[in-house]
C-alpha cells in the first residue's frame, strides 16, 4: 500500500514541477510480483536524456526505457545494470554523465546505492563536401557555402541546402554530380554525409580555316580536328592552343597566313579565346617555257595560251600544269623540220608545265636543184657556190642563195676550148652568171673546142731532115718557140706513107690567126683552101718572102709521090736527091702540095699540123 501511495505522490510532484515524464512515471510498470506491501530496500537508478538530439536509453536488466527527460527505476541493491544509448534518426550519442562516463553507447552501473546517469544526445551534423570538376572554372555559393575551390561545411541533419553555380570566364556549367544532378540549381536535404560535385567545362570555340590563292594545298591541325582538304572547321575548348600546318600540293607553294594573328609561312599557332578564322594562301608555281629556233631557215613559234611569239618573244612563264600548245610557222623559202627538247616530230607540240621546259624548233631553208650542163663540143669547168662541174652536175642550193657561177674553158692540148656563153636562169653573155635561187634552175655553159693549129715553119730546111721524126721535131720546136701548145707533126710523105695518114684521130684546123681552114686532114691538098697556109708559128705572113716553097714529097692529089730526100733506105736523110715541093702562097690543090720537083739541097719550109683535138670548124 505504501508503494502505490509513493508512486502517486511522485506523479503529483512531477506534474506540479512541470516535468514532461509524468505519463512515463504514471505508466511505469510494476513488477508482476511486486508487492506494494513489500518492505523497503530497492535502489533507484535515474536516467536523464540531455542534449539537442533525441535517443533512447534502455537497461539490462529491464526497467528503464527512457526516450526523453528523466526516467527512474528501482533495482535490487548491488544489481549490475547495463545501460545502452540508442540515438534517434538524425541524432548522435555524445557521452555519458553522472554515474557513467565515456562516449561508448553502453554503460554499466552497479547499484550499491541510488545513482543518476545522464545520456547526452545531439542533433547529428554531417559534412557537406562540395567539389569542382572539369577543365573549366566557376564558383559555388549558397547556404553558407562560397566555394571557389573544394570546400566542406558541417550541416545539421535535415538542413535543406540550396547551391547556385556561376561559371568563370570562357567556361560553362556542365552539370552537378553526387547528391545533385542536372544543370539547374542544387537543392538537397542533408540526412547524412553529402558530397556534391559541380562540373565546369571550358567553353567550345570554333576555329575556321579558309584557303585563298590560285594554288592548292592542305591545312592540318595539332591537336587533330582540321584536315582542310575537306574538313576546314573544328570546335576546340577555350584557351586551347592549336597549331596549324600548311602543306602545298605538287605544283603549288604556300605563300602565307592571314587572320588569327598569324603571318608568314611557318606554322600558325592560335589560342582559342574566341571563334577564329585563319586563311592559308596557296599559289600555283610558275615555270619558264623557253623556245629556241635552230637551223638555217626562218620561221615563228607561237603559243596558246598566248605569251610566246618567237619571233622576238621566245620565253614565257606559265602556271603549274598549264598545257601550252606551240605552233611552228615557217617563213617563205623555209620548212619546219621538227621539234626537239620537250617535243619531237613535226606535228603539234603540247607541253604540260610541271617544270621548266625547253623546246627547240628547227627551220630549214628549202633547197632547190641547180643543174649545170654544158653544151657544145668544147671543154670547160663551171665553179661557184659549192659547184665544181667538169661535166653535167646537179647540186642542192638553199632558198635565197645568191649563186655566182664562173667558167674556165679547157686549156690542155686536148681540151683547148673557148666559152661561147651562158643559157638558163636568166644568164646570158660570157661573164659570170649570177642569180638568186627561189626555185629549181638549170644553167648551160656552152664551150667550143678550138680547132688544131696549122702553121708553116718560119725557118727553112734542106732535105736532110733526119727522117719523119726529125721533121716532126722541127715542127714541135717551132710551135714551142711560137708559144703554141700541143703536139705537132710535119705534113710529109715518106716511103709507104701518105702525108695525111699521119694525122688520124685529129680533125679541124685553123691558121695561127684562128682563121678556119678545113675539118678533115684529107682536105689539105685535095680541096681549095679558104686561106693560104702562109702564116708561121708566130703568125707572121710568109707569102711574098724570098722562099715560099715547102717540102711535101706529095703528088698533086696529096698522095706520096714515091720519092723523097732519101738514100740507103732512109727517108729524108740526104740533100743529094730530088722530091716534090709545094707553095705556101697558094690556095689551090695542085700548088699547095705539088707545085714542082726540087733538089733536096734546097732550103724549104715545113707544113706543121697540131694533132691533139677532134674539133670542127663552121
Note the pLDDT tens digit of each residue in 404-460. Answer: 999 999 999 999 999 999 999 999 999 999 999 999 999 999 999 999 999 999 999
Model pLDDT, residue 16: 36
- Residue of 48, 118, 109, 104 whose CA lies nearest to 81: 109
Gap between the Cα atoms of 7 and 12, Å rounded: 9
Kindly indicate whether the domain formed by 452-610 is annotated with CATH number 2.30.40.10. Answer: no
Gap between the Cα atoms of 284 and 216, Å rounded: 7
Beta carbons within 8 Å of 65's beta carbon, 6+ residues apart: 56, 57, 58, 59, 71
Longest CA pairwise span in the chain (Å)? 237
Q: Average pLDDT, stretch 129-146? A: 83
End-to-end CA separation in angstroms for the chain:
208
CB 94 within 8 A of CB 86: no
161-170, 212-221, 292-301, 424-433: which has the minimum mean pLDDT?
161-170
Model pLDDT, residue 12: 34
| CATH architecture of residue range(s) 2-123 | Sandwich (2.60)
Model pLDDT, residue 583: 95
Domain positions in the chain? 2-123, 125-202, 204-284, 286-365, 367-449, 452-610
Q: Quick check: 177 pLDDT over 50?
A: yes
The region that residue 259 occupies, defined by phi over 0 for left and psi between -120 and 50 for alpha, beta otherwise, is left
32-41, 58-67, 233-242, 484-493: which has the minimum mean pLDDT?
32-41
Q: Average pLDDT, stretch 179-192? A: 88
Q: Which three cell numbers stand for residue 419?
A: 666559152
Kindly indicate whether the domain formed by 125-202 is annotated with CATH number 2.60.40.1140. Answer: yes
Q: Which three cell numbers stand for residue 234?
A: 573544328
* Residue pLDDT, tens place only, 532-591: 999 999 999 999 999 999 999 998 788 999 999 999 999 999 999 999 999 999 999 878
Gap between the Cα atoms of 96 and 399, Å rounded: 137
- CB crowding 165-196: b at 16 or more within 10 Å, else e: bebeebbbbbbbbbbbeeeeebebebeeebeb
Model pLDDT, residue 20: 42
Gap between the Cα atoms of 370 and 383, Å rounded: 12
| Intrachain domains 125-202 and 452-610 with the same fold | no
> 19: pLDDT confidence band, cut at 50, 70 and 90?
very low
Model pLDDT, residue 389: 81
> 135: pLDDT confidence band, cut at 50, 70 and 90?
confident
Beta carbons within 8 Å of 291's beta carbon, 6+ residues apart: 301, 303, 308, 310, 314, 315, 326, 359, 360, 361
Q: Average pLDDT, stretch 246-274? A: 95
Q: Quick check: 59 pLDDT over 70?
A: yes
Q: Quick check: 497 pLDDT over 60?
A: yes
> 37: pLDDT confidence band, cut at 50, 70 and 90?
very low
Q: Quick check: 337 pLDDT over 70?
A: yes
Kindly indicate whether the domain formed by 204-284 is annotated with CATH number 3.40.50.300. Answer: no
CB 601 within 8 A of CB 567: no
243-257, 390-404, 539-553: which has the minimum mean pLDDT?
390-404
> 215: pLDDT confidence band, cut at 50, 70 and 90?
very high
Q: Average pLDDT, stretch 32-59? A: 76
Strand, coil or helix: 379: coil
Q: How far is CA 46 from the centre of its chain?
A: 111
Model pLDDT, residue 131: 86
- Cα 199–205–208 angle (5° rounding)? 160
Gap between the Cα atoms of 599 and 618, Å rounded: 39
- Residue of 439, 442, 404 whose CA lies nearest to 424: 442
- Residue of 447, 421, 374 whose CA lies nearest to 613: 447
Gap between the Cα atoms of 1 and 581, Å rounded: 231
Q: Average pLDDT, stretch 331-355? A: 95
**Reduced to 3 DSSP states, what percent helix, strand and coil does the chain have, rounded to the nearest 5?**
10, 50, 40
Model pLDDT, residue 14: 34
Gap between the Cα atoms of 498 and 492, Å rounded: 8
Q: Average pLDDT, stretch 79-105? A: 93
> 364: pLDDT confidence band, cut at 50, 70 and 90?
very high
Helix (H) or strand (E) holding 409, with range, is: strand 402-409
Model pLDDT, residue 437: 93
pTM: 0.55
Q: Average pLDDT, stretch 113-138? A: 89
Q: Quick check: 306 pLDDT over 90?
A: yes
Q: Which three cell numbers stand for residue 61?
A: 536488466
> 149: pLDDT confidence band, cut at 50, 70 and 90?
low
Q: Mean pLDDT in the chain?
A: 89
- Residue of 149, 200, 148, 193 whose CA lies nearest to 171: 200
Altogether, the residues listed in the chain come to a count of 618
Gap between the Cα atoms of 15 and 29, Å rounded: 18
Model pLDDT, residue 148: 65
Q: Average pLDDT, stretch 74-91? A: 94
Q: Quick check: 203 pLDDT over 80?
A: yes
> 40: pLDDT confidence band, cut at 50, 70 and 90?
low
- CB crowding 454-493: b at 16 or more within 10 Å, else e: bbbbbebbbbbbebbeebbbbbbebbeebebebbbbbbbb
147-161, 304-318, 319-333, 491-505: which has the minimum mean pLDDT?
147-161
The C-alpha cell 554499466 sits at 108
Model pLDDT, residue 595: 87
Burial class (CB in 10 A: 0-12, 13-18, 19+), 400: middle
Amino acid at each position: 500500500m505504501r508503494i502505490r501511495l509513493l508512486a502517486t505522490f511522485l506523479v503529483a510532484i512531477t506534474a506540479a514541477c512541470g516535468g514532461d515524464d509524468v505519463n512515463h512515471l504514471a505508466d511505469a510498470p510494476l513488477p508482476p510480483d511486486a508487492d506494494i506491501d513489500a518492505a523497503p530496500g530497492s535502489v533507484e537508478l535515474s536516467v536523464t536524456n540531455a542534449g539537442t538530439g533525441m535517443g533512447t536509453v534502455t537497461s539490462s536488466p529491464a526497467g528503464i526505457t527512457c526516450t526523453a527527460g528523466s526516467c527512474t527505476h528501482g533495482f535490487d541493491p548491488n544489481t549490475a545494470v547495463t545501460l545502452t544509448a540508442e540515438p534517434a534518426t538524425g541524432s548522435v550519442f555524445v557521452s555519458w554523465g553522472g554515474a557513467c562516463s565515456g562516449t561508448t553507447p553502453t554503460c554499466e552501473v552497479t547499484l550499491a546505492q541510488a545513482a543518476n546517469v545522464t545520456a547526452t544526445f545531439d542533433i547529428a551534423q554531417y559534412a557537406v563536401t562540395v567539389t569542382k570538376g572539369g577543365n573549366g572554372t566557376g564558383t559555388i555559393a549558397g547556404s553558407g557555402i562560397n566555394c571557389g575551390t573544394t570546400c566542406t561545411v558541417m550541416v545539421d541533419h535535415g538542413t535543406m541546402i540550396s547551391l547556385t553555380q556561376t561559371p568563370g570566364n570562357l567556361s560553362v556549367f556542365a552539370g552537378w554530380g553526387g547528391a545533385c544532378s542536372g544543370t539547374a540549381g542544387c537543392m538537397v536535404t542533408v540526412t547524412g554525409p553529402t558530397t556534391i560535385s559541380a562540373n565546369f567545362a571550358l567553353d567550345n570555340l570554333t576555329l575556321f580555316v579558309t584557303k585563298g590563292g590560285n594554288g592548292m594545298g592542305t591545312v592540318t591541325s595539332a591537336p587533330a580536328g582540321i584536315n582542310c582538304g575537306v574538313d576546314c572547321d573544328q570546335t576546340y575548348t577555350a584557351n586551347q592552343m592549336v597549331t596549324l600546318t600548311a602543306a602545298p600540293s605538287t605544283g603549288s607553294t604556300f605563300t602565307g597566313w592571314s587572320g588569327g594573328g598569324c603571318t608568314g609561312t611557318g606554322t600558325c599557332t592560335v589560342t582559342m579565346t574566341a571563334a577564329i578564322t585563319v586563311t592559308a594562301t596557296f599559289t600555283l608555281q610558275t615555270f619558264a617555257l623557253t623556245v629556241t629556233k635552230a637551223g638555217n631557215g626562218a620561221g615563228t613559234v607561237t603559243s596558246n595560251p598566248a605569251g610566246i611569239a618567237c619571233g622576238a618573244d621566245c620565253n614565257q612563264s606559265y602556271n603549274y600544269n598549264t598545257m601550252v600548245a606551240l605552233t611552228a610557222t615557217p617563213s617563205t623559202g623555209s620548212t619546219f623540220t621538227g621539234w626537239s627538247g620537250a617535243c619531237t616530230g613535226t606535228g603539234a607540240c603540247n607541253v604540260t608545265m610541271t617544270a621548266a621546259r625547253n623546246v627547240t624548233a628547227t627551220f630549214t631553208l628549202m633547197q632547190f636543184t641547180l643543174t649545170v650542163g654544158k653544151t657544145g663540143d668544147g671543154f670547160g669547168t663551171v665553179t661557184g657556190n659549192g659547184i665544181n662541174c667538169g661535166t653535167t652536175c646537179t647540186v642542192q642550193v638553199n632558198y635565197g642563195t645568191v649563186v655566182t657561177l664562173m667558167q674556165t674553158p679547157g686549156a690542155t692540148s686536148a681540151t683547148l676550148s673557148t666559152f661561147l656563153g651562158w643559157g638558163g636562169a636568166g644568164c646570158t653573155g660570157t661573164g659570170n652568171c649570177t642569180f638568186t635561187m627561189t626555185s629549181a634552175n638549170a644553167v648551160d655553159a656552152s664551150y667550143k673546142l678550138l680547132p688544131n693549129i696549122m702553121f708553116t715553119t718560119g725557118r727553112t730546111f734542106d732535105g736532110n731532115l733526119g727522117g719523119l721524126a726529125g721533121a716532126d721535131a722541127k715542127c714541135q720546136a717551132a710551135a714551142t718557140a711560137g708559144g703554141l701548145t700541143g703536139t705537132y707533126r710535119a705534113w710529109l710523105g715518106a716511103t709507104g706513107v701518105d702525108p695525111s695518114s699521119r694525122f688520124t684521130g685529129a680533125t679541124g684546123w685553123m691558121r695561127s690567126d684562128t682563121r678556119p681552114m678545113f675539118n678533115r686532114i684529107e682536105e689539105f691538098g685535095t680541096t681549095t683552101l679558104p686561106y693560104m697556109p702562109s702564116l708561121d708559128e708566130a703568125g707572121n705572113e710568109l707569102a711574098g718572102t724570098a722562099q715560099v716553097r715547102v717540102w711535101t714529097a706529095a703528088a698533086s692529089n696529096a698522095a706520096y709521090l714515091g720519092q723523097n730526100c732519101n738514100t740507103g733506105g732512109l727517108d729524108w736523110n740526104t740533100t743529094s736527091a730530088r722530091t716534090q715541093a709545094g707553095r705556101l702562097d697558094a690556095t689551090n690543090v695542085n700548088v699547095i702540095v705539088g707545085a714542082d720537083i726540087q733538089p733536096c739541097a734546097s732550103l724549104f719550109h715545113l707544113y706543121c699540123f697540131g694533132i691533139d683535138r677532134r674539133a670542127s670548124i663552121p
